[in-house]
Amino acid sequence: METIGWPNWTILIFGAVMIGGFVWRTEQMRRSSGINPYRLKADDSPMGEIGKWYKRVTLLVMLYAVARCFWDIDIHTGPFAAFYLPAVQWAGVVVTSFGIVWSLAAQAQMSDSWRIGIPDDEPGALVDRGLFSISRNPFFLGSVIFNLGMFLMLPSWFMLMMLTLGWVAVNIQVRLEEEFLTRSIGDDYLVYKEKVRRWV
C-alpha cells in the first residue's frame, strides 16, 4: 500500500496536541475561575454512559496509533487499501489540523462557561459569539472533524468504527445538553436555537 511515508509518531503528536490542549485549557479555566468544569458523572445515567463511551473511543484510537509505532498491525484492522494514497493521507493532515484549531478555539471562546458534561449547579452563561454564532456545538464539531482526519490518516474498518461510535456518542450528548440548557437558560436559549444550527 502506498503511503506518504511519515513516521507513525506524527499521528501521536496530533493526538497529544488535541488532548493536551483540551486538558490545559480546562485546567486553566479551573484555576482562573475556581470552578471545576469537569462534570461528567461516573454513573449509569445517560450522560455518564456517553462519557464512558467517548473516553473509550479516544483511548482505543490512541492505543491503536501507539501500537502502529511498534508493530505492523494494519492488516489486522481491516485496511482500506484504496485510501492508502498520499493525497488522501495529506487531506487527513489538513482535516485533523483544522479540527484541532477549531476545537481549541471553541473551547477558549467559552471562557468561564466551559464545562465537560452537564453542570447541574453552575451552568455558566450562554455563549453566542465567535464560532458559537456559526454552530451551537463548535467544540463537538471540531472533535468530529478531528476524528474524520484521523480516519483519513489511518484508513481502516477499525478507525471507521471508532469514527462512527464517536459520532453517535457526540449526537446523544449534544441532545442531552440541549435539554439541560433549555431548562436552565430558557427563552434566551430557545431564541439562540432558532438562529444557529446545531452543527453548521
What are the structural domains of the chain?
9-32+40-114+125-195 (1.20.120.1630)
Q: Which has more confidence, 192 or 79?
A: 192
Q: What is the mean pLDDT of the chain?
A: 86
| pLDDT value for 138 | 96
Three cell numbers written together for 78: 481491516
CA–CA dist 47, 170 (Å, integer): 11
pTM: 0.88
Question: Residue 108 and residue 86: Cα distance in Å, rounded?
Answer: 33
pLDDT the model gives residue 105: 96
Query: Which pLDDT score, from 0 to 100, does residue 115 have?
Result: 82
What is the grid cell recorded at 167? 459520532
Enter the C-alpha cell of residue 48.
455518564
- What is the spatial distance between Cα 100 and Cα 18, in angstroms, rounded to a whole number? 6
pLDDT score of 68 more than 60? yes
b/e map of 58-77 (b: 16 or more CB within 10 Å)? beebbebbeebeeeeebeeb
The C-alpha cell 445538553 sits at 177
